Amino acid sequence: MSRVAVMGSGSWGTAFSQVLTDAGNEVVVWGKDPDVAESINTRHENPTYHPGISLPESIRATLDVDEALGQAEIVVLALPAQVVRENLAEWRHRLTWDCLLVSLAKGIELGSKLRMSEVVAQTAGVPAERVAVVSGPNLAREIAERQPAATVAACLSETNARRLQQACATSYFRPYTNTDVIGVEIGGAVKNVIALANGMASGMGFGENAQASLMTRGLAEMTRLGVALGANPMTFLGLAGVGDLIATCQSPLSRNRTFGEHLGRGLSVEETIAVSKQTCEAVKSCRPILELAQGASVDMPIGEQVVEVVWNGAATSTIVERLMSRVPRPEIRT
């Protein structure tokens, strides 16, 4: 059993806290919302994100960073990608010297274009081997309901990957290990962009052919970028690649797909943000992902069109015309 601090009491942070507790760990959840903390401690429920789901009574919630991080052997960062650096910069001196840092965020940092494991290692001042990531088809609500799911626990250190695997293995949550952190993180970040595009297609009324085409060509974009950055191409055929892509593109529980649906139905980005209750990582990450691709001379036409809509104000209807009018080419490039 390990003492685990989960820094973030949102949807995925709460669900993963349950997984860790069910796996036999002592779990403390940190958050900023006093009502959520009180509800977790007294009613054993997070009514904001998972109403109606009973959490293990042993999970403790706190607003005190020191209480959460004190003696924590594993620190889980369940935060939106764009705030990981600023929060960890405040917490780094409170971490135990040998704790394993685990990122749940699936995004690329604006400006630096760094993956989340790179942001964590740089900000905390720890070697990359002490930073792990969790990524896969892990829709938080289903996991909170203890429906069967699998995931990838990735770390450059195979020992630490196995350590994380053991810490979150339950009868309903099956983690696999991988040392290809680049591939796992690129898969987790890019699939959000493809899911947003897929949501736009659905919102505009397009059917399964269009959506299947977007997912398949999105997988090609994801793989090209990952391989150019040093990833193993086989990673994208696994849970953190095609597995996560299918779940995020197709499920109504997917925040990124839902965001895209709103855009496809005619809402602006600002209007969609106003009606959304949870973070849509693709909105901010799509631009640094495209910048990564451009820097590596990787063609990402779907990602490029998402950036045009989200950042440059292009109409969603233009995506179809621009993608369908591209110069024909072989499907498999050598």
Q: Where are the alpha helices (DSSP H) in the chain?
A: 11-22, 34-42, 65-69, 84-91, 116-124, 140-144, 158-167, 181-203, 208-228, 244-250, 255-264, 269-275, 281-295, 301-312, 317-324
Q: Hey, CA dihedral for 55, 52, 80, 224, is it positive or negative?
A: positive
| The CA-based dihedral angle spanning residues 302, 305, 311, 317, taken in that order and rounded to the nearest 10 degrees | -130
The radius of gyration computed from the CA coordinates of the chain, to the nearest angstrom, equals 19
**Marked catalytic residue, from 106, 191, 277, 284:** 191
Q: At what angle do helices 301-312 and 181-203 cross, to 10 degrees?
A: 60
* HSE-CB of 18 using CA atoms within 13 angstroms: 25
Residue 191 designated active-site: yes
SS3 content of the chain, % helix, strand, coil (to 5): 55, 10, 35
Q: CA 276 to CA 279: how far, in whole Å?
A: 8
Q: Judge whether 160 and 147 are in contact, CB under 8 Å.
A: no
**Residues pairing with 173 in the sheet:** 149
Residue partners of 191: CB distance under 8 A and separation at least 6: 106, 218, 222, 241, 244, 245, 248, 249
Just list the catalytic residues.
191
